[in-house]
Amino acid sequence: MKRKRELANLKEQSHGNVARNAAFPKEYIKRPKQVPRNATNRKKILITWSTGTDRAKEAANSVVSEIFKKNHKGNIKVVDPTTHRIEPSNIRYFAKGIDLDKVGLSIVNVEQIDNENQIPLVKIVESRVALKKYSDFLAKKKEKELMELGVLNKSYKNLVTDKKEDNLKHIKISWQIESDDLKRQKAHEIVSLLKKGNKVTLYLDDKNNINSNNWLENFEELDRSQKGEPPRLPESVFQKRAAVLETLKEIVSEYANDPVLLGNMNSKMIMKLIPKDVKPQNNDKRALKELRKKERQEKLQKRIQRKKMNEM
């Protein structure tokens, strides 16, 4: 009898399960999601470099790794050195033939396509620039690790960094700046910093470049010995830029030592200023202004004479 009751209970349970399965079709039954095969079996992309030091290869591989983090296919955008246009590419092909003894890679911008996809803008930079960026990356990584371990005090680190950065100020100036704005607003900003004992670096460039998000990247490779002069500008544009430069020299002459100039007026320039320890007297200021005014007049006369000689 006991055996018969057990069999009867099993039949009832089986009948109930069939009824439930009929009420809930297969498409409504939740199943655990399967992990895509590509997610676990995706190969790690490695690029074998035939040139460059071990450090240069590490720096390049660091950039390549960052590219694949942002775009798993390795799709990038690059600036064509001939047309200066931004062209699509892939890091697998773009990296071929790069001489790490002379140049390196740098991500200068990242374009967000959607929630998952990004397109890095990659630029070829000088080897020293790439190595400097890699050193900064390693330093920040090490600092982060030390702070997580509690070895480095975050507030102390920020205090030291702020002191270093506060002593050097950066000011952007467009070649197209109005004379009044330069003599008033910019002059006040520059002189105020020099009076406080700050070193000041002025960046002069076309307004379209100086107002871009990555404006500082344009000045990375600027040095005194530039190879290949940029195309000559129209005389009116060149004279406007010369006036801006001379005005800046006159503004800072009273409060800074002789400025260090990099670049040229046909393209972009950097003016590095170090404040004077002792301020000149009023008489010295007036005499210095007169001297500089006389020098400008002599330069202008020489330029006019050369122009007349060329036209003859």
Is 182 among the domain residues? yes
pLDDT for res 240: 92
Query: What pLDDT, in 10s, does the model give residues 250-265?
Result: 999 888 888 888 888 8
Given 154, 186, 207, which residue is the final one in a domain? 154
Q: Kindly write down the DSSP assignment for every residue of the chain, as one continuous string.
A: -HHHHHHHHHHHHHHHHHHHHHHS-GGGS--PPPPPHHHHHPPPP----SSS-HHHHHHHHHHHHHHHHH-TT-EEEEE-TTT--EEEEEHHHHTTT--TTTEEEEEEEEEE-SSS-EEEEEEEEEHHHHHHHHHHHHHHHHHHHHHHHTSS-HHHHHHHHHHHHHTEEEEEEETT--HHHIIIIIHHHHHHHHHTT-EEEEEEE-HHHHTSTTGGGGGTT--SS-SSPPPPPPHHHHHHHHHHHHHHHHHHTTTBSSPEEEE-TTS-EEEEE-B-SSPPPHHHHHHHHHHHHHHHHHHHHHHHHHHHHHH-
Is 163 among the domain residues? no
Is 59 among the domain residues? yes
Residues 135 and 175 in one domain: no
Is 35 among the domain residues? no
pLDDT for res 27: 46
Residues 199 and 238 in one domain: yes
Residues 115 and 209 in one domain: no
Least confident of 43-47, 81-85, 156-160, 292-296: 156-160
Is 27 among the domain residues? no
Residues 148 and 185 in one domain: no
pLDDT for res 118: 87
pLDDT for res 245: 92
Pairwise CA distance, residues 34 & 288, whole Å: 79
Is residue 189 pLDDT above 50, yes or no? yes
Q: What share of the chain is helix, strand, coil (3-state, %, to 5)?
A: 50, 15, 30
For the segment 137-166, the average pLDDT, to the nearest whole number, is: 62
Residues 193 and 253 in one domain: yes
Higher pLDDT, 85 or 222: 85
Is residue 67 pLDDT above 60, yes or no? yes
Is residue 28 pLDDT above 50, yes or no? no
- Considering the chain, what percentage of its residues have pLDDT values greater than 90? 11
Residues 58 and 144 in one domain: yes
- Look up the domain containing 147 and give its range: 54-154
Residues 135 and 181 in one domain: no
Residues 243 and 182 in one domain: yes
N residues, the chain:
312
CATH number at 181 reads 3.30.110.10
Pairwise CA distance, residues 137 & 148, whole Å: 17
Q: Does this model's pTM top 0.85?
A: no
pLDDT for res 38: 44
Pairwise CA distance, residues 250 & 286, whole Å: 11
Sign of CA dihedral 188, 192, 195, 198: negative
- When pLDDT is cut at 50, 70 and 90, the band that residue 143 belongs to is confident
